[in-house]
Structure 1
Amino acid sequence: MSQNFDRHRRLRSSAFMRDIVRENVLHTDDLIYPIFVKEGQESKTEVSSMPGVFQFSLHELEAEVTELTELGIKAIILFGLPDDKDAVGSGAYHQHGIVQEATRLVKKIVPEMIVVADTCLCEFTDHGHCGVVKNETVDNDESLQLLKKTAISQAEAGADIIAPSNMMDGFVKIIREGLDEAGYIDIPIMSYAVKYASAFYGPFRDAANSAPQFGDRKTYQMDPANRLEALREAKSDEREGADFLIVKPSLSYMDIIRDVRNQTNLPVVAYNVSGEYAMVKAASANGWIDEERIVLEMLTSMKRAGVSLIITYFAKDVATYLKEMRR
């Protein structure tokens, strides 16, 4: 006798059936891999809180980029670690700054590789904040002029995408105007539109040597308790000329990712941040989880929430997983 209820399990009856009805699929093309590049000729240094993530000198960058290409990864985001820092982060916009030199080198090795340049001052300032500091307060408008100079210098070096991460008010508008005036009208902006003042960034600050020397970043990064503020931030950046919108972090902010996705037609990008990476690596090292399954589930859930791209330290791992699954 037929029962009067829905038979949802019909579409889960075999692996092939599940494959053909799968709604969201993770691809290597979805991934952007962060790379930390340092000045000097030292050997690469592993970040203690991020197993498998290294700080590279320029002479070691070719091997890393070649490996990424072989894995099918098409985009990277560059973070610079300078030898010298100052109050205004001049290394961020110097013609021969570490990000600029790394960009030129990557474009020489693999011209088609998409190079995203992180556009901020915090890695280059001696105080560790994302702008010009006056009386222990970050001066928004004066910082914008230096961020514009940074973006233009990165575009001149060959960056394909400018990714401003500073969360100054008006940063997309000023950078877009600067790029256009300098003739870089076709260079897109991947805005860190929604960036929370999150505890999940701890390991990144080890990797980038960018912890603030006083105070915190809560006057310019967002309160994790707020949702509607995120929508206002994203809307402002889109209106000012952003071409992509980043939500950072990702795992605790899936609701925000979906909210942003629902209000924009621009590509939405999740930043799967350092603390999220470190937690999984630590649990895996202790044998508590199946790392491959956890990572694939996490990143697929970001796709399900509505992102088009994922910045992730797991990119090489995921590319390897996917390649093995296709065999």
Structure 2
Amino acid sequence: MAAVIVLFFLASIVLGVLALIPRSPVRRWYAARQRPGRAAGLSILAWVGVLVVLVGLASATSQQDSPDDAAETATPTAPARPAQPGNTTPAETTPPTTAPPTASVAPAPAGVPDDVQQARVRRVVDGDTLEIAAVSAGPILASVAQVDVRLLEIDTPETKHPTEPRQCYGPEATARLEQLAPQGSTVWVQRDQERRDRYGRYLLYLYNDEGVFVNLRLVSEGYARPTRYEPNDRHWQRISAAGEQARSARAGLWGACPPSDTREREPQPAPQPPPETEPGGVSYPYPPDLDCSQIEERDFPVQEGDPHGFDGNDDGIGCES
């Protein structure tokens, strides 16, 4: 419409110039009229009328186009500015329509092996036992439910044994584990051949958010004794060597506790849970460790402790279909 108005003005200018030239066709046309003055007046009125019509059409077109233009300009092409206290607008306070973010999995720090799973510490029980929850389900912890973890290849003095008194250097070992893996911190866990003991606790190696191998650190600083429970011996050479060095240096409990409290326990096989049995009479020996993809049965009651980890949501039913 703007182009039509421009052309109208150009044509008006041309006709006006021709009307001033004595022998032009426009001047001769007006001279041939019976009333040249009246003809010129009517021409001017017609020009004004056409101009008013064109301006009205242009205004109506602009109003019709404005919603589309506003919609186009409202399309987000730049990141939204964060709302400032006391200076928010309705657009800034409108809740987003996107789905809420899921739990993020942070990259493991340097020194942590590849075959680990991320978790968060819920509570430290004592020097070698803690409670954790996986950030997301994975190959080691099948759900995000809180689980009990017994650190592998180490043993710290007892502090909460139901039938034994608190042992020398037990509180110090607990405090040290709380420093290495504080409540709420991110950790990474690694398994060995047997994943759980007869009490249902997960048998794992632990790495903290600085990449420290917690099992090894507790032994090397003298807070724990190296203790092997077959067949879990993945890091035994490193941990046992660290224990020898700590004892030679009389670090930690080796220098603070009497010999009766620092004697090393004889290596013992891990307690074996009975096979997990499905109601139809099919039994699953343990070890080896199995998962639901390796068996055909579904929806069966799991044995106490669930050594195979068939019950991912802890409702007592394994391999739910």
Higher helix fraction (1 or 2): 1
Same fold flag (TM > 0.5): no
Per the shorter chain, which TM-score range?
Answer: under 0.3
- Provide the TM-score with structure 1 as the length reference: 0.23
Which protein has greater RCO, CA pairs closer than 8 Å, 6+ apart?
1
- Provide the TM-score with structure 2 as the length reference: 0.24
